Amino acid sequence: MRSQQVNYGDFEGDSRVEAAVYVGCDDDGITQNTQIAAGYVVFGRAGKNLVVLGSITAQQESQAAYPTALVRPEFARGRITVHEKWYRFSDAHCCPTGNATTVWTREGHRLAPGAPRVVS
């Protein structure tokens, strides 16, 4: 359930593109637990340099032992909406049925999550 590796959009509203780069850690299929941890690192520009604007992690907790997956971020001015797939108690390992979104905004010099909103 891996998302796209890099997603682009104008988060800062300055007509310059920022990038959310997927980062994750897994056990290489040894225990079939696929994802151990995952997130996005959001990059922007300061002059000619790349800067890290912040990191994004899943906010909706799964009910089962498997971690919530990040599916994709969507950029809009002043916010990044992240779609998350989470596990209910009855879900098989292959197939989380929970869907949530979390809106990330800027607070000072860091990204801050809002409360996750369960959409299904």
Q: What local confidence, expressed as pLDDT, does residue 55 receive? A: 97
List, for residues 46-69, the tens digit of each pLDDT value: 999 999 999 999 999 999 888 898
Q: Where does the pLDDT of residue 3 fall: very low under 50, low under 70, confident under 90, or very high at 90 and above?
A: very low
Spatial distance between the Cα atoms of 31 and 24, rounded to a whole number of angstroms: 16
What number of other Cβ atoms are within 10 A of residue 43's Cβ? 17
Domain boundaries, the chain: 6-118
Q: Per residue in 56-110, pLDDT tens?
A: 999 999 998 888 989 899 999 999 999 999 999 999 988 899 999 999 999 998 9
Considering the entire predicted model, what is its pTM?
0.87
Asked if residue 112 lies in contact with residue 82, where contact means CB atoms within 8 angstroms, the answer is no
For the cut 60, the answer to whether the pLDDT of residue 1 exceeds it is: no
